[in-house]
Amino acid sequence: MTERVDFYARQAANRRWTWTLVLTFLVLAALVGLAADLFVFGSYRPGAGGFPIVSALAVAVASLQSVNAYFYGDRSILRALKAKPLNPMGDREERELFNIVTEMSIASGLTPPKVYVIDDPAPNAFATGRDPEHASIGVTRGLLEVLDREQTQGVIAHEMAHIKNYDIRTMTLVAALFGVVVLLADWSLRSLRYGGRVAGARRAGKRGGGGGAAGILLLLTILLMIVAPLLSRLVAMAVSRQREYLADAGGTEFTRNPLGLARALEEIASHHSPLKRATRGTAHLFIHDPLERKLDNREGFWADLFSTHPPIEKRVQRLRQMAYVG
């Protein structure tokens, strides 16, 4: 007997999360833009008028990127990872993968997703897209070579659970929008360092008798530019860890075989080579951290804040408990 997953409740929760994420990233982009308006270009000062040009541009860019991420984020991720479409008539591993995806599509009641292969020896897999009708699953060549059929079936079932839960929409948006905030903050800091108008802002503050307040505001502005990428990363991490547990449980509903996925996770974790083309912005998409960071194998406050995945040992333990209940 396996832990039950309410897919409809998860779908509703993920729709809410999607809107929350988009609004959060738009607010962060606006704040970084306002910081640039205040102390880089001097185009806006509270009480002194002017139009916050950079703020408006930052929100516009973030909004356009949100729309682009919704419709085309999966293509960007697949292109960045150099994923190639699966050839059902190719070698034995690819034919077997095609059959497994077909079986799990039937078991889950979903439209068969597009399937891609990444030419990398590190065993791993991910799912992306905006909904089950526009979903893609990617697996590495290493995964096809080191896992047996039962293990591969567990991995694909896990990714199908992400698709059915609409996790893919939320995680694809996170991958795209995280990059926007990082780029905006980096650009603002470089502008402030090499061509900003800090001195002008200080003089303006002194003329108004508020030099000390202007200095404090400048310090807070610089702090925001530095902290914004960290905040956006914390948001990204917050949506990742618990989803892996839920997808593990959801996948076992399709296979009725928790031990298949448990053995797959153990095998994947035993290979310590990072996936070459993975980045911090896409790491949360994969079934196991592709960057092989030690923090993902730990528990506690800092691990909960900064790691993309729960510890493999905890996931395997839960799966084995499912296998021996009832």
Write out the catalytic residue numbers: 159
Taking Cα atoms as reference points, which of 181, 184, 192, 179 lies closest to residue 221? 192
For the chain, the distance separating the N- and C-terminal CA atoms, rounded to the nearest angstrom, is 6
Q: How many C-beta atoms surround the C-beta of residue 64 within 10 A?
A: 11
CA–CA gap between residue 97 and residue 217 (Å, rounded): 57
The CA-based dihedral angle spanning residues 29, 35, 40, 44, taken in that order and rounded to the nearest 10 degrees: 110
Q: Can you name the residues that pair with 114 across neighbouring β-strands?
A: 136
Half-sphere exposure of 127 (CA within 13 A, CB side): 30
Residue 81 identity (one-letter amino acid): L
DSSP string, 108-126: HT-PPPEEEEE--SS--EE
Q: Do 198 and 192 touch, CB atoms closer than 8 A?
A: yes
Q: For residue 176, what are its two tokens?
A: 């795209």
- Alpha helix positions (H), the chain: 7-39, 53-80, 92-108, 141-146, 149-165, 167-194, 198-207, 211-238, 241-255, 258-269, 301-306, 312-323
Query: What's the distance, CA 224 to chain centroid?
Result: 22
